[in-house]
Structure 1
């Protein structure tokens, strides 16, 4: 009879340690940010939706920075075999984010040069072709990158702690979001006459249906590409088409500027997170 209380106490002690405790508020914050991003993953990509996603990614990585300062996170990472994978993933995201920044910088420079050329109205055809050649280089660089990017889908593992699982999912969503941004910026290809006229038709309908003030959800990259295609393939009414290109240029430059600002803010947060990862491992 004397051994029963002892065993009972031991059993209670083990069970109380195994019961899940109330999640830390910061863990809840990370999970809530992930939920918002999950809900937008399948949404059709537009400049406004991508900017919103980049804003949410900044919120996510702000909360991750707070998570990485918690002692319970330090313990979870030190005791887990997935730390090397997380470090490799954070470096991969920084690399692709840096590439996206370079692409946007090149696009902004080319758009500015084209805008200046159209204002001068000298050697119009040559200057437009210069921009198109730059676009081809950007497209090629992005396409090579996208081919090398393996779509990552987060798979929850029973072996991973909750915190490690959240960090892995955050990496996956961030990586996929930047991939979506690159796909948007790459814009359309013109592989055949049929697809060309399809895009031209889309551009014309876009102009008829959507007013300038309401035009917030179109693909600014695609619209400019099509407007320039029209100029280079229709020698007549050049000046009449220049206005379309200038309008499309203004929208593209605004779009690129927003992307750049959001991407730069995200990049700083990603660097900060990686430094926190390294600090945890070096202690």
Structure 2
């Protein structure tokens, strides 16, 4: 499925791009104040850290998904090997969720002590930090699954990014994403005895869900990579401005 980010998702990228414009850099250089210079440099580093954690979590999830798909193609009928691989997948997902949970708790506990500066570009930089953190929080919650969801609005936001054609009113259906479906189906596969025909049918269904999951992961990966690149470029621009 193609990725079609909405205006809110692209707002940080647009503002970050504006930092590199010559007149913007002039304004920032003229209005330097140590308090907010330190504030933004620290904030940009924090955003990079969280974005890096999200990228790592997504990469690990992607690798596990590929391994599971591979074993299903090769060993569709071998329950022992498939069960072993499913166990690895679920264990890996637990590790990812634990890391995300720790990160989300840190994001909630770290408040920001903002000084009152009227410069419009400074206000926009603050806005982009808030919006970007919100997007990253939503992405981490989306990757981790149901128990770590913090806000239903954030959840719906990421669902709209990954599935732009779905209607927001479909709450009952969109409340569960592809990663959750795969998780639930794998746990069911591990915990219930099935007839041979039911087992094979369940595995075939799993293949379809894994493909959908892979599509979602790809879309999220593209957005994170784009955001990460802009965050790095912006931090370099800020360092160049403040060091001259």
Band of TM-score, shorter chain? 0.7 to 0.9
Match for residue 66 of structure 1? Answer: 21
Of residues 227, 239, 258, the one that matches 2:185 is 227
Quick one: structure 1 residues 48 and 67, their matched pair in 2 at CA, closer, same or farther if it must change by over 3 Å? same
Match for residue 52 of structure 2? Answer: 98
**Is structure 2 residue 234 aligned with structure 1 residue 259?**
no
Whether the aligned pair in 2 keeps the contact of 1:55 and 1:262 (CA below 8 Å) is no
Whether the aligned pair in 1 keeps the contact of 2:51 and 2:228 (CA below 8 Å) is yes
Aligned pair count?
Answer: 212
- Which whole-Å CA distance do the structure 1 matches of 2:221 and 2:109 have between them? 23
* SS of the residue 2:228 aligns to: helix
**Is structure 2 residue 242 aligned with structure 1 residue 281?**
yes
Which has the higher relative contact order, 1 or 2, with Cα contacts under 8 A spaced 6 or more apart?
2
Report how far residue 152 of structure 1 moved: 7.4
* SS of the residue 1:81 aligns to: helix
TM-score by length of 2: 0.77
Q: Unpaired runs of 5+ in structure 1?
A: 1-46, 191-209
Deviations, residues 17-36 of structure 1 (Å, cap 9, x unaligned): xxxxxxxxxxxxxxxxxxxx
Q: Unpaired runs of 5+ in structure 2?
A: 149-165
**Is structure 2 residue 94 aligned with structure 1 residue 126?**
no
- Which whole-Å CA distance do the structure 2 matches of 1:110 and 1:156 have between them? 41
Report how far residue 167 of structure 1 moved: 0.9
Match for residue 64 of structure 2? Answer: 110
Bigger Rg over Cα: 1
- Which whole-Å CA distance do the structure 2 matches of 1:67 and 1:247 have between them? 49
Report how far residue 97 of structure 1 moved: 0.4
- Which whole-Å CA distance do the structure 1 matches of 2:100 and 2:3 have between them? 21
TM-score by length of 1: 0.67
- Which whole-Å CA distance do the structure 2 matches of 1:270 and 1:220 have between them? 28
Match for residue 204 of structure 1? Answer: none
